[in-house]
A and B are shown apart, each in its own frame.
Chain A
Amino acid sequence: FFQYCLSGHPTLPCNVLKFKSTTIMLDCGLDMTSTLNFLPLPLVQSPRLSKLPGWVLKDGSTFLDKELKECSGHVFVDSVPEFCLPETELLDLSTVDVILISNYHCMMALPYITEYTGFTGTVYATEPTVQIGRLLMEELVNSIERVPKAQSASLWKNKEVQRLLPAPLKDAVEVSMWRKCYTMPEVNAALSKIQLVGYSQKIELFGAVQVTPLSSGYALGSSNWIIQSHYEKVSYVSGSSLLTTHPQPMDQASLKNSDVLILTGLTQIPTANPDGMVGEFCSNLAMTVRNGGNVLVPCYPSGVIYDLLECLYQYIDSAGLSNVPFYFISPVANSSLEFSQIFAEWLCHNKQTKVYLPEPPFPHAELIQTNKLKHYPSIHGDFSNDFKQPCVVFTGHPSLRFGDVVHFMELWGKSSLNTVIFTEPDFSYLDALAPYQPLAMKCVYCPIDTRLNFIQVSKLLKEVQPLHVVCPEQYTQPPPTQSHRTDLMIDCQPPAMSYRRAEVLTLPYKRRYEKIEIMPDLADSLVPLEIKPGISLATVSAVLHTKDNKHVLQLPPKPPQPPASKKRKRVSDDVPECKSLKPLLSGSIPMDQFVQTLEKHGFSDVKVEDTAKGHIVLLQEAETLIQLEEDSTHIICDNDEPLRVKLRDLVLKFLQKF
Chain B
Amino acid sequence: MPEIKVTPLGAGQDVGRSCILVSIAGKNVMLDCGMHMGYNDDRRFPDFSYITQNGRLTDFLDCVIISHFHLDHCGALPYFSEMVGYDGPIYMTHPTKAICPILLEDYRKITVDKKGETNFFTSQMIKDCMKKVVAVHLHQTVQVDEELEIKAYYAGHVLGAAMFQIKVGCESVVYTGDYNMTPDRHLGAAWIDKCRPDLLISESTYATTIRDSKRCRERDFLKKVHETVERGGKVLIPVFALGRAQELCILFGTFWERMNLKAPIYFSTGLTEKANHYYKLFITWTNQKIRKTFVQRNMFEFKHIKAFDRAFADNPGPMVVFATPGMLHAGQSLQIFRKWAGNEKNMVIMPGYCVQGTVGHKILSGQRKLEMEGRQILEVKMQVEYMSFSAHADAKGIMQLIRQAEPRNVLLVHGEAKKMEFLKQKIEQEFHVSCFMPANGETTTILTNPCIPVDISLGLLKRETAIGPLPDAKKPKLMHGTLLMKDNSFRLVSPEQALKELGLAEHQLRFTCRVHIQDPRKEHETVLRVYNHLKGILKDYSVQHLPDGSITVESILIQATAHSEDQGTKVLLVSWTYQ
Contacts and interface: CB of A to CB of B under 8 A. Distances in A.
Given A356-B97, A542-B478, A513 B451 contact: no
Contacts of B135: 345, 352
Contacts of A341: 280-281
Nearest to A588: B507
A151 interface: no
A539 interface: yes
Interface stretch (B79-87, B494-502, B528-536): B494-502
A638 B514 contact: yes
Contacts of A554: 476
Interface residues of B, number: 75
A541 B478 contact: yes
B507 A655 contact: yes
B511 A648 contact: yes
B484 A537 contact: yes
Chain A CB count within 10 A is highest, among B137, B465, B486, B512, for: B137
Given A127-B284, A514-B461, A520-B451, A537 B511 contact: no
Nearest to B572: A639
A543 B506 contact: no
Contact of A344 (B282, B449, B465, B579): B282
A51 interface: no
Contact of A513 (B274, B294, B458, B504): B458
Interface string B508-546: 111111110000000000000000000000000000000
Contacts of B289: none
Given A199-B137, A513-B458, A577 B477 contact: yes
Interface in A196-217: 197-202, 212
A516 B456 contact: yes
B191 to A, nearest CB: 12
A634 B512 contact: yes
Nearest to A578: B478
Contacts of A345: 94, 135, 137, 284
Interface in A263-312: none
A651 B464 contact: no
Interface string A537-548: 111111111100
Contact of A342 (B281, B452, B475, B476): B281
B514 A636 contact: yes
Interface stretch (B138-146, B222-230, B314-322): B138-146
B478 A551 contact: no
Contact of B277 (A212, A358, A526): A358
A560 B226 CA distance: 73
Contact of B455 (A514, A535, A537, A583): A514
Interface stretch (A39-47, A332-340, A389-397): A332-340
A558 to B, nearest CB: 13
B256 interface: no
Chain B CB count within 10 A is highest, among A536, A554, A573, A586, for: A586
Contact of B479 (A352, A355, A542, A580): A542
Nearest to B149: A202
A532 B485 CA distance: 11
A205 to B, nearest CB: 14
Interface in A609-658: 630-639, 644, 648, 651-652, 655, 658
A535 B479 contact: no
A517 B512 contact: no
B278 A579 contact: no
B487 interface: yes
B50 interface: no
Interface in B328-362: none
A371 B378 CA distance: 54
Nearest to B472: A577
A411 interface: no
B477 A543 contact: yes
B101 to A, nearest CB: 8
B512 A544 contact: no
Given A201-B141, A584-B506, A541 B480 contact: yes
Chain B CB count within 10 A is highest, among A339, A342, A573, for: A342
Contact of A334 (B280, B284, B295, B467): B295
A563 interface: no
A551 B455 CA distance: 11
B419 interface: no
A552 interface: yes
B295 A339 contact: yes
B141 A545 contact: no
Contact of A537 (B464, B485, B510, B513): B485
B505 A631 contact: yes
Contacts of B58: none
Given A198-B140, A637-B511, A638-B514, 14 more contacts: A198-B138, A231-B455, A516-B453, A517-B452, A520-B450, A531-B504, A539-B481, A541-B478, A544-B478, A585-B507, A586-B506, A630-B505, A634-B509, A635-B510
24 contacts: A198-B137, A201-B141, A212-B141, A355-B281, A513-B491, A514-B461, A515-B456, A516-B455, A536-B484, A536-B486, A537-B485, A537-B498, A539-B482, A539-B495, A541-B480, A544-B479, A554-B476, A577-B478, A586-B499, A588-B507, A636-B514, A639-B514, A651-B509, A658-B499
Those 10 A-B pairs whose CB atoms lie nearest each other, nearest first? A658-B495, A632-B508, A517-B451, A198-B137, A584-B495, A636-B512, A516-B456, A585-B507, A356-B98, A201-B139
Interface of B: 94, 97-98, 135, 137-142, 170, 274, 277-278, 280-284, 294-295, 449-459, 461, 464-465, 467-469, 473, 475-487, 491-492, 495-496, 498-499, 502, 504-515, 573, 577-579
